Structure 1
């Protein structure tokens, strides 16, 4: 039976592709050995064929010979492997070139465009944080000794200018009210008598009493009420000096304050500062009046504008950086004090090839792009530059104008580069 299969295999060997022609001698030798083995096996079989164990062994040996013959025919030789066409190469500059013969990149997945040289702004990046505008922060303190009777605005409360923040009892304020009431009555009495200079003296005394009330914290509304009703109040309201938010409350109701003790702090959240650090090599590029564009992590899509109003006079000995300060309008209230922010300032321009960020490939702490160098060939180039925005990258080295750049599907094609490179 084995001889029958080997004889049938011979015609197929004659019809194989010339690529396998050099394997014919080896296959013929294997077939001749198989026939020789079969003749010996046939002799033995005439003597011991009746034994089941010998039949099993001879069948297994026949199958083994057939497998060896087929493997020798179809297994590629060492020379064939060495002659396989290489699809990747590296030139003297280290640039990787990839050839894909017979492969067409689908336009639905891959997109190319011609590069062109343009001018890109040089941006200086300044890290920093947001803070309340100190010019719009007011501390409310006691103007006379007394006791806090009631608090109306606690931490985080939004107040308008003139709103009552707390009720305060002070003997000095009660005395000042009495003084004003008496002087007002004197003015009214002398006005009816028309006594000349005495009336004017009374008017001066009344105005002095009103000013005393203002010094203690009384408002014009409080003074008008005293003039109308003639009744002193045991407490008076401490009012907000500006519109803003109570950012810190120093005492609780019932606390006793001496003159100058702090009751609360109010700040205007609509006007903030950006406090940034400029390193020594960049100091000459910063000036008062420069316009910075700020980015914060909370709103990465928003661009906030800040104007520099202060440049430090000396270097910070700890950070060895120069402090700058910028004013920011925060009308919508999105920005919060103590947020980290990064300010960018345009300090010049440079020639560059501006490309979409979709063309960039991040690998091994470097940036690469893929260009088309022929109908079926591509190169991966390292590029250097800086980000212009979230969608554009300025290449200052590694890419030139009039090159066919892959701007869509770069990551997918780079996988082929990586696979061939490995």
Structure 2
């Protein structure tokens, strides 16, 4: 639902009831991941998507129905129909389960608070019961960036504590995911499935070297939803005027800046400096940090020499294997803009465990099932 957080927050502020349709489970090839949502208000205004267009009409009618009759939340499954080419279904061949429920903002002030946090870019998560006893289906609990902060109701304190703990874990990791609990005395007697919609701060892209390639890569990183920092020790090159797409431009020695900045498993480190006095201390540190991607620009000859220097500096082979160099995928790129696309493509493939091969050379679903939306996606209504 966080893909349409801005609009849902506006509706909550205006106390406008709405129907919320949420993708809660995906099997096979499906265009959108769990957590993606579509919503309809009493005037018939629709925002969001659950399938990229395949079943939107049918889901819209289900939303209108739940708004009119005020019924209990319900689940619907949509898949491909071989028997009837005009049947409602997914042309991609997968299946999705959608939970449709009516939301009364006056009854869920905690949801409005979470949506406000997301709209303002602050960390928050919404835990939504998507499978379990009928009386609990659709209930929500919201957790916020401060450890222990939560609000909402899931039926019992035991359930709320268990869900809040796991939701905080997912929020820290920046992942939307489904958790299963219950069936024991420690939580609740009946099993529950809870979908946690997590909104973490934007992932970081750290670009070292304020060269022409950094200008293009910072623009690509910004488009992908990264918070982009460009760092260079040379003040004449590291200026906001030269790097208008970067969120932050830092004049400092690269390894010194990296040593004192915050990183996590979603951080991409891109070394474009081409200078051993910068590269070696920087890469030695970067390869020892829990970041998601480390890449360095240079020819194969440069890379071989760089590896020798890193080994001499004491970097073990297991850490050297994390280094993507020469940086980027083989797209035949020549210009800074083409190179930025090459680097971005490798980062995306790394984050989503893609092969980097042409889709025409593979087999099976092109939409890989996964626990959460891409960390690069923006949260805007469509």
Class of the TM-score when normalised by the shorter of the 2 chains: under 0.3
Structure number with greater Rg is: 1
Task: Select the structure with the greater relative contact order (CA < 8 A; seq sep ≥ 6).
Answer: 1
Which is strand-richer, 1 or 2? 1
Q: Normalization by structure 1: what TM-score? A: 0.18
